[in-house]
């Protein structure tokens, strides 16, 4: 069975930049995919290719099995909310929402009905005659969402819809947007550089880097089984340190890590040489502080940050790596010499990658 929205080998070059590099994914009807990546990774270009504002050099876009790769933006019936939400300040809320419908030749009472329905869907029923400038940033973003939803698009495209909001408003607006989209049940692609947005909103997340899709999966899959060092570091916290792979152990893998030897519950990493140098990446909760001693990597606490019931310790090892370790707030003080061991709690959080995987 094929997906509702399918993207195959999508590619877009600008001069020497490959902005989008053979990107493929599928979304089921009503699914929500978050495209997550740092600035310049090709998120906006991917969205513009989907919307039809940009033509691909290669690849296909299909919706409901229909090839819309060369269809013009109106014909493909996708709705888009832009990063810098372009509400018209001289028009009222109702006129802003009507904008996309008028270009589709909806008029009169039908127009009023659909504007009112779209505003109702974003919990702004009755706001037709308000001025845009009277609304909060979160409300303005919901008007932009109503404008995109009013023509009843097949797919909704959102480009960093929360980036203009301050942190307090951001979380609330994120929840509102999530509830609205769930209620409408529309197939959605959301672009963001914020992991929290991607994880809260996406039922699946696609991580982009330099135009390439590094990994696609549920938030859980990305967090617990990152495909490479980039995803491990970009999704959640992880610190990295070079190690020597010594061989397989009873359970997992044996590594030399700055004079200590650890048995860790990690795949040995398939690429690269069978033994030798690897990059170890560890979630803070998969490490623990111990007194310095055999089996522990010695280091000095350089910072301690409270994160609720636990504290995040930054430890500088003797070879100069920095490892983040989660522990009891009273476990150590800044400046104290400590040891680091893998956490006793079995299962994940420590990964081995090829030493040049960066």
Ligand X SMILES: Nc1ncnc2c1ncn2[C@@H]1O[C@H](COP(=O)(O)OP(=O)(O)O)[C@@H](O)[C@H]1O
* Part of the chain binding ligand X (CB under 6 A), chosen from 42-50, 90-98, 101-109, 297-305: 42-50
Give whichever of 45 and 240 is closer to ligand X, judged by the CB atom.
45
d(CA 185, CA 207): 23
Minimal distance, residue 46 CB to ligand X, in Å: 7
Q: How wide is the angle at C-alpha 347 spanned by C-alphas 342 and 351, nearest 5°?
A: 65
Is residue 101 left, alpha or beta, with left meaning phi > 0 and alpha meaning psi from -120 to 50?
alpha
DSSP H helical segments within 29-136, as ranges?
A: 43-51, 73-76, 93-102, 108-121
The binder of 17, among Mg ion, ligand X, none, by C-beta within 5 to 8 A per type, is ligand X
* 269 touches Mg ion by CB under 5 A: no
Sites for Mg ion among residues 44-63 (CB under 5 A): 44
Shortest distance in whole angstroms from residue 211 CB to ligand X: 7
For ligand X, which stretch binds (CB under 6 A), given 33-41, 162-170, 283-291, 306-314?
33-41
What's the burial of 142, exposed, middle or buried (CB within 10 Å: 0-12/13-18/19+)?
buried
Nearer to ligand X, 141 or 286 (CB): 141
Binds 284: which of Mg ion, ligand X, none (CB < 5-8 Å by kind):
none
Q: How many residues bind ligand X (CB under 6 A)?
A: 11
**Residue 140 φ then ψ, to 5°:** -60, -40
19 binds ligand X (CB under 6 A): yes
Please report how close the Cβ of residue 83 comes to Mg ion at its closest, in angstroms.
Answer: 6
Residue with tokens 């929290």: 196
Based on the shown chain and the rule CB under 6 A, indicate whether residue 45 belongs to the binding site for ligand X: yes
- Distance from CA of residue 311 to its chain's centroid? 25
> Binding segment for ligand X among 12-20, 147-155, 278-286, 317-325 (CB under 6 A)?
12-20
Nearer Cβ to Mg ion (190/232):
190
- CB neighbourhood size of 178 (10 A): 17
Looking up tokens 């397989």 gives 248
**Candidate residues 2, 14, 275, 345; the one interacting with ligand X per rule CB under 6 A:** 14
Examine residue 17 and tell whether it contacts ligand X (CB under 6 A): yes
CB 297 within 8 A of CB 256: no
Kindly state the tokens that stand for 180. Answer: 């609205």
Q: Are 316 and 284 in contact (CB under 8 A)?
A: no
Contact residues for ligand X (CB under 6 A)? 14, 17, 19, 37, 39-45
Contact residues for Mg ion (CB under 5 A)? 43-44
């Amino acid at each position: 069975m094929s997906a509702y929205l399918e993207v195959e080998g999508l590619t877009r070059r600008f001069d020497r930049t490959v902005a989008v590099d053979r990107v493929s994914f599928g979304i089921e009807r009503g699914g929500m995919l978050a495209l997550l990546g740092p600035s310049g990774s090709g998120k906006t270009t991917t969205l513009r290719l989907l919307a039809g504002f940009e033509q691909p050099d290669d690849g296909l876009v299909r919706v409901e099995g229909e090839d819309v790769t060369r269809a013009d933006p109106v014909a493909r019936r996708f709705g888009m909310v832009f990063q810098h939400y372009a509400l018209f300040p001289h028009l009222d809320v109702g006129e802003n929402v009507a904008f996309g419908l008028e270009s589709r030749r909806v008029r009169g009472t039908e127009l009023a009905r659909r504007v009112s329905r779209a505003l109702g869907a974003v919990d702004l029923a009755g706001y037709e005659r308000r001025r845009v400038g009277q609304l909060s940033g979160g409300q303005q973003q919901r008007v932009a969402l109503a404008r995109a939803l009013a023509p009843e698009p097949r797919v909704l495209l959102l480009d960093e819809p929360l980036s203009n909001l301050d942190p307090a408003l951001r979380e609330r607006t994120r929840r509102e947007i999530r509830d609205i989209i769930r209620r409408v049940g529309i197939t959605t692609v959301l672009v963001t550089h914020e992991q929290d947005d991607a994880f809260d909103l996406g039922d699946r997340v696609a991580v982009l880097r330099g135009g390439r899709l590094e990994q696609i999966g549920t938030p859980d899959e990305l967090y617990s089984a990152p495909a490479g060092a980039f995803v491990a570091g970009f999704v959640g916290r992880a610190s990295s340190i070079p190690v020597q792979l010594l061989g397989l152990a009873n359970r997992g893998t044996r590594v030399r890590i700055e004079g200590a030897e650890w048995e860790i519950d990690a795949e040995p990493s398939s690429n690269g040489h069978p033994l030798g140098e690897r990059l170890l990446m560890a979630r803070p909760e998969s490490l623990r502080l111990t007194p310095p001693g055999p089996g522990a990597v010695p280091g000095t606490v350089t910072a301690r940050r409270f994160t609720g019931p636990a504290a995040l310790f930054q430890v500088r090892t003797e070879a100069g790596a920095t490892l983040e370790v989660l522990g009891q707030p009273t476990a150590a003080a800044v400046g104290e010499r400590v040891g680091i061991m893998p956490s006793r709690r079995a299962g994940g959080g420590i990964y081995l990658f090829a030493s040049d995987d960066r």
